[in-house]
Amino acid sequence: MLSLTILGNNSALPAFGRNPTAQWLQTSQESILIDCGEGTQWQLSKYKLKPGKLTHIFISHLHGDHYFGLIGLLTSMSLLNRSKPIHLYGPAQLQAIIQIQLDVAETTLSYPLHFHSLDTAGVIASTQSLEVSCFKVSHSIECWGFMFTEKKIKRSVDPEKARSYEIPAAYFEQLQQGKDYITKKGTIIPNAEVTTPTPAPKRYAYCADTRYNETLIEFIKDVDLLYHETTYLKDQEEKAAMRFHSTTLQAAQLAKIANVKQLMIGHFSAKYESTDLFLVEAKSIFENTVLATEGSCFGL
């Protein structure tokens, strides 16, 4: 079970009450922040998400609207005497940017900050509940997409049924893993008889700032939820390409070809007061589209 809360959905400039990019991904075991634009610590407070619970932070790239809030969040957690470690993933230079700001303030964080530099596509983290991989997207500077894949969830044992077959509790862990039980007399008790299946592991793909790029399809194919930027409406295709961004139709087209289950769009240009047309245009190609509206929460 993954739950995603949108903390900001605007591109470069804050505008019309919209904030820069940040998303909170909650799993059964971990609390994860994806990008961290300026003001994210206020957004966390507004939506009652506790920074103290954070375990992992993923930064897609080093344009300010995706990370200028990080140093404030990291140092605030230190002022609150956090002790639990944080794992931070991002482009290599991010470490130096953080370090110089800690150095000039003569600050040592109160908790271990484990920095993981992104350099090649592939698996970058394996947490208790997730496997996280990264892949390059097509932006003007080094920029990473992230795939969050739930780990296979154990089957649930029905304890009454298991007892009725005299299966010892010590064997329950193997039942959870899908194994059958063989009684002392050699009778096979099929796993499905004493366990209930759990939902298939879910996958969330986050494609931050990027041009339309069909090479992404191999990474995002069939995902349950795809976040793809749509900085511009369809009539700005040329400007979008020039600035390494995408339009509504391009994001929807990619979602369609990649056969994703749901598309979420965001990173709206500050030139648009309303985001209504973004939804209309994207839906014209890919019906199951939603806006990354600030404060909204998606369960998957």
> Least separation, in Å, of the C-beta of 177 and a second copy?
45
Please list the alpha-helical segments (H only) found in the chain. 40-46, 70-79, 93-104, 159-164, 172-176, 191-194, 217-220, 237-242, 248-257, 276-283
- How far is Cα 27 from Cα 213, in angstroms, rounded to an integer? 29
- Considering the rule CB under 8 A, would residue 69 count as an interface residue with a second copy? yes
Q: How many CB atoms lie within 10 A of CB 11?
A: 27
> Are 239 and 226 in contact, with CB atoms under 8 Å apart?
no
Amino acid at 297: C
Look-up of token digits 């470069």: 12
65 is catalytic: yes
Among the candidate windows 52-60, 63-71, 143-151, 258-266, which touches a second copy by CB under 8 A? Answer: 63-71
Q: Which of 65, 119, 222, 224 is catalytic?
A: 65
Q: Using the rule CB under 8 A, which residue among 76, 156, 215, 259 binds a second copy?
A: 76
Name which of residues 188 to 207 contact a second copy (CB under 8 A). Answer: none
Q: Using the rule CB under 8 A, which residue among 2, 32, 57, 71 binds a second copy?
A: 71
Pair of tokens at residue 97: 């940017």
Name which of residues 154 to 183 contact a second copy (CB under 8 A). Answer: none
Among the candidate windows 7-15, 157-165, 193-201, 210-218, which touches a second copy by CB under 8 A? Answer: 7-15
Adjacent-strand bridge partners of 88: 57, 115
> Are 74 and 107 in contact, with CB atoms under 8 Å apart?
no
> Least separation, in Å, of the C-beta of 119 and a second copy?
15
> Are 220 and 206 in contact, with CB atoms under 8 Å apart?
no
Based on CB atoms, which residue is closest to a second copy, 30 or 294? 294
> Least separation, in Å, of the C-beta of 14 and a second copy?
6
Binding-site ranges for a second copy (CB under 8 A): 12-14, 38-39, 41-42, 45, 62-64, 68-69, 71-72, 75-76, 79-80, 91, 93-94, 96-97, 100-101, 104-106, 140-141
Residues marked as catalytic: 65
